[in-house]
Amino acid sequence: MSKKIIISAFSNLYTDQRIEKICRTLYENEYQIDLIGNDWNGARKMERPYPFSRVHLGSKSLKTAYFEFNWKLYHQIKKKADQNTILYANDVDALFPNYLLSQKLNIPLIFDSHEIFSEMPAVQGKVSQKLWRYLENTIIPKLKFMITASGSYAQWFQNKYGILPVVIQNAPRKLIFDIEIPENNPKKLLYQGAINPFRGIDKVILAMHHLDNVILHIAGDGPKKKEYENLVIKEDLQHKVKFLGKLIPDELRNITVMADCGMSIEENGGDSYLYSLPNKILDCIQARVPLILSDFPEMQNVKKQFDIGEIIQSHHPEHIAAAIKKVLNKGRVNYQQELERASEAICWENEEIKLLQIIQKAAQ
């Protein structure tokens, strides 16, 4: 009998592309899976070929929502798990109930750390940071199976907790590229992702003062959106900066392939950012769109292997503008050979092989 895999995450599941790819790979390889998320920030209707459910959360604050979710998740998994189950926890905010039940039932647990949760900017200096660090320190050294999203993350976890995770990058599926590269006028610069602090968004808005015939599209939503909209008005840049709002994955892909230049210019808001390989880089690679990048280890590593854009000298608006100008002057068409090489190397079809291997080990 094949193992049942219960996958859980503090997520409304709809826009979580990493979890969707993992579930689809397992489903297509005939594993029986059961996905559990929650309805925090809404539960948009979705259809999947495998079973899923979303725990209802009545909490009004994120802090209490975490506790409520972990309590309810424990009882959900307890009802569904048996000796023929593998537990798969995504990030530290779903780890504790999975760990307790894996110990109680003596069943395997796979922990997938999408980021370094205790080092995210949102928890820096807060009581919650101590809680997440305590959970990491208590549980992670005892784990047998762990996955993370970048080589630098894996090294961090090994240095900190003595465990070397399997690296499964959050790469998109290979995009067969037959789209004619547009001749945009003005040129399109794209930011995609959450509108959070330390993403370099405010810096690139100011960089628009130094760019002519370029329009910045910001696709996404988040806590800093209103502040950045006000910054655009204050700087009188409404004609150069457009907010597209939060897009579903298919809409975002359609926007991405039409851009002349993407961006991933995160600032050092802690180790979780410093050692990340952001999804937007991999999305742009598959869309064959060159990028401007921060001078961070994982971004340097990609740039050394494939000439897919320019690394910014600093987050000063003039330096950001200079890097954008280099990419636009070279032209998207002249990056295509290197972007094609990168798209062949960094795609989900390569990453899912490692996922299936770790599932097979856990099932033994």
What superfamily in CATH does domain 187-345 come from? Answer: Glycogen Phosphorylase B; (3.40.50.2000)
What is the pLDDT at residue 42?
86
Contact, 16 vs 279, CB < 8 A? no
pLDDT of residue 179: 77
Which pair of structure tokens corresponds to residue 80?
């569904």
Q: Which pLDDT score, from 0 to 100, does residue 158 have?
A: 98
- Helix intervals (H) in 287-335: 297-305, 317-330
User: For the chain, first and last CA: distance in Å?
Assistant: 12
Q: How confident is the model at residue 2 (pLDDT cuts 50, 70, 90)?
A: confident
Which pLDDT tens digit goes with each residue over 221-263?
999 999 999 999 999 999 999 999 988 888 999 999 999 999 9
The mean of the pLDDT values for the chain is 95
Nearest to 115 by CA among 135, 93, 145, 100: 93
Contact 293, 278 (CB under 8 A): no
- pLDDT on residue 41: 81
- Are the beta carbons of 196 and 121 closer than 8 angstroms? yes
The CA distance from 262 to 259, in Å, is 7
pLDDT: which is higher, 292 or 62: 292
Task: Kindly state the greatest CA–CA separation across the chain.
Answer: 64
- What's the CATH number of domain 4-171+348-363, 3.40.30.10, 1.10.3720.10, 3.40.50.2000, 3.20.20.70? 3.40.50.2000
Peptide bond into 186 cis (omega under 30): yes
Beta-carbon contacts of residue 219 (< 8 Å; ≥ 6 apart): 190, 191, 192, 193, 244, 245, 246, 247, 252, 255
Whole-number Å distance between alpha carbons of 328 and 323? 9
Kindly tell me if the per-residue pLDDT of 157 is higher than 70: yes
Amino acid, single-letter form, for residue 282:
L
| DSSP sequence for 5-22 | EEEEESS-STT-HHHHHH
Kindly report, residue by residue over 303-313, the tens digit of the pLDDT.
999 999 999 99
How far apart, in whole angstroms, are the C-alpha atoms of residue 144 and residue 293?
34
Residue 1: pLDDT over 80: no
For the segment 267-277, the average pLDDT, to the nearest whole number, is 94
3-class SS at 146?
strand
List, for residues 42-84, the tens digit of each pLDDT value. Answer: 888 889 999 999 999 999 998 899 999 999 999 999 999 999 9
**What's the pLDDT tens digit per position in 89-121?**
999 999 999 999 999 999 999 999 999 989 988
How many whole angstroms separate alpha carbon 353 and alpha carbon 343? 16
Question: What's the whole-number mean pLDDT along residues 182-203?
Answer: 96
Q: Is the separation of the CB atoms in 217 and 189 below 8 Å?
A: yes
Domain with CATH 3.40.50.2000 in the chain: 4-171+348-363, 187-345
Residue 343: predicted pLDDT: 97
Q: What is the DSSP string of 185-240?
A: SSEEEEEES---TTSSHHHHHHHGGG-SSEEEEEE---TTHHHHHHHHHHTT-TTT
User: Is 147:111 a contact under the CB 8 Å cutoff?
Assistant: yes
pLDDT given for residue 349 in this prediction: 98
* Burial class (CB within 10 angstroms; exposed 0-12, middle 13-18, buried 19+) of 122: middle
